[in-house]
Amino acid sequence: MSKTALVVDDSTTMRRMIGFTLREAGFEIVEGADGAQGLCQLDARGVDIIVTDVHMPVMDGLTMVEAVRRRPDHRFTPILILTTEGGEEMKRRGKEAGASGWIVKPFNPVQLQEVVCRLLRLPADASREPNGV
Amino acid sequence: MPMRETRPETIVQRAILARPRLVALALAGAGGAAVALWALYRWPAGLLPAAVAGIVALACWIECHRASRVTAQAGEWQRLLSPYLQDLPALVSQLRESASYIEGAVLEACDGFDGIGAKAREAAGAPRPDLEGEILRVVAALQFQDMVSQRIARAVDTLTDLGNDLGACLKQMPLDPEAQAKMEAFQALRRGRVGAIDPKRPVAAGATGATGSTSSARLGGAAERPPRSEPKGRMEIFQPEVGS
């Protein structure tokens, strides 16, 4: 059974690109355009990993990460921040909020697949297997 | 400390402020008449009104000159800023259209790559890592759109705020009807600023520099591109032990 990734980004094109990259690695994708929509998606279905931007309207990524970590069933769900922000202060805030990893945009698709697999303790070449993840 | 607004209280004050040149002429005439009365009939009481009328007439003339200088400055500001105020709404609209056009093109490209990947898998009957790798490279290159959109959004915000502030400054000066119409057009544009692109996203200075250089490198030809090594600090895993 394939794993599900929740992609939260206010940019439609970025959601498509991240989704495309993870779909190639065998993931099923659910999307949210901001933190609030991401939380709604979490309510609706179970996800194995969350990939989120930081700067979004309605609810930003770090607030969403904190809200996710407050939920008992998602205390240990890997959350990867994918953002243009590369400053140490922002990374520290992300880590404090409960993020599991940080990637600065523009992302390298292969690197994204590898990081996601590492966070889920999957073999690094899982995406190259015939059945994917 | 709050500024105290001074308002003309009496009819005379209002008249002086509204028509200083006319009041000055009237007072100068009254002063001249008083001097003439004193000269002709040796009327001593005529000296005091003549002096008062002369002083007030002089003050009115000074006010006339000051007002005309302010009006001239306002006209000069209008002459300098009107072309920019005229161009700004069109420029902002064009930037928004460009961002929207690029977004549409990139989404179409993504649709196309989805189809290509599916067809390739169908045709081969199995995953094609080589083809998928190539598609991923192209899809990654399309990330320039997100960076460009963020910068356009920032430019649109800056231009809109600039136009708004200039409009507010000019609003305090006497404007001709044409400049007023341009200002109102810009106000309308500002009210409709939430358009095809997202202006809410602040771009950190450090991040802008980092992504900008990478983004422009990605826009270059693939053949000339040197082999890339991942810049330090672009990826970090905080809790590799955390898993579902």
What H or E segment, with its residue span, contains residue A30? strand A28-32
Residue A31 pLDDT exceeds 70: yes
Interface of B with A in 73-112 (CB under 8 A): 103, 106-107, 110
Any idea of the CA torsion for A36, A4, A92, A90, to the nearest 10 degrees?
Answer: -50
Residue predicted with more confidence, B149 or B129:
B149
Residue B216 pLDDT exceeds 50: no
Decide the pairing of beta strands B235-237 and A101-104.
antiparallel
Spatial contact of B179 and A60, defined as CB atoms under 8 Å apart: no
What H or E segment, with its residue span, contains residue A12? helix A12-24
Q: What is the pLDDT of residue B174?
A: 59
State the pLDDT confidence band at B219, using cuts at 50, 70 and 90. Answer: very low
Name which of A1, A4, A7, A11 to mutate to probe chain B: the one with the most chain B Cβ atoms within 10 A of its Cβ.
A11
Residue B179 pLDDT exceeds 70: no
CB < 8 Å to B113, chain A: 20
Residue predicted with more confidence, B203 or A115:
A115
Residue % of chain B over a pLDDT of 90:
5
State the pLDDT confidence band at B214, using cuts at 50, 70 and 90. Answer: very low
Residue A106 pLDDT exceeds 70: yes
Closest residue in B to A74 (Cα) is B244
Q: Distance (Å, rounded) from C-alpha A112 to C-alpha B28?
A: 86
How do residues B10-20 score in pLDDT, each as one tens digit? 666 667 667 76
CB < 8 Å to B219, chain A: none
Q: Distance (Å, rounded) from C-alpha B77 to C-alpha B79?
A: 5
Size of interface A-B (CB pairs under 8 A): 139
Least trusted range by pLDDT, from A114-128, B33-47, B52-66, B216-230: B216-230
Measure in Å the smallest separation between the Cα of A131 and chain B Cα atoms. Answer: 9
CB < 8 Å to B220, chain A: none
Flag if B237 and A115 touch (Cβ within 8 Å): yes
Flag if A84 and B203 touch (Cβ within 8 Å): yes
| Any A CB within 8 A of B52 CB | no
Identify which of B142, B149, B237 has the shortest CB distance to residue A100.
B237
Measure in Å the smallest separation between the Cα of B161 and chain A Cα atoms. Answer: 20
Measure in Å the smallest separation between the Cα of A64 and chain B Cα atoms. Answer: 16
- For chain A, give the mean pLDDT: 88
Q: What is the pLDDT of residue B239?
A: 67
Least trusted range by pLDDT, from A17-21, A24-28, B89-93, B222-226: B222-226
Q: Residue range B39-62: average pLDDT? A: 73
Closest residue in B to A92 (Cα) is B238
Interface of B with A in 120-179 (CB under 8 A): 126-127, 129, 132-133, 135-137, 139-140, 142-147, 149-150
Q: Residue range B155-179: average pLDDT? A: 77
Q: Distance (Å, rounded) from C-alpha B165 to C-alpha A74?
A: 47
Neighbours of A97 (CB within 10 A): 19
Peptide bond into B227 cis (omega under 30): no
> What distances in angstroms separate CA A64 from CA A33, A58, B238, one per listed residue?
12, 10, 17
Residue B128 pLDDT exceeds 80: no
Token pair, residue B176, equals 């001709």
Name which of B136, B145, B154, B194 to mutate to probe chain A: the one with the most chain A Cβ atoms within 10 A of its Cβ.
B136
Q: Residue range A118-128: average pLDDT? A: 70
Flag if A101 and B218 touch (Cβ within 8 Å): no
CB < 8 Å to A117, chain B: none
Residue B240 pLDDT exceeds 60: no
Interface confidence (ipTM) of the complex: 0.73
- For chain B, give the mean pLDDT: 70
Identify which of B113, B210, B238 has the shortest CB distance to residue A95.
B238
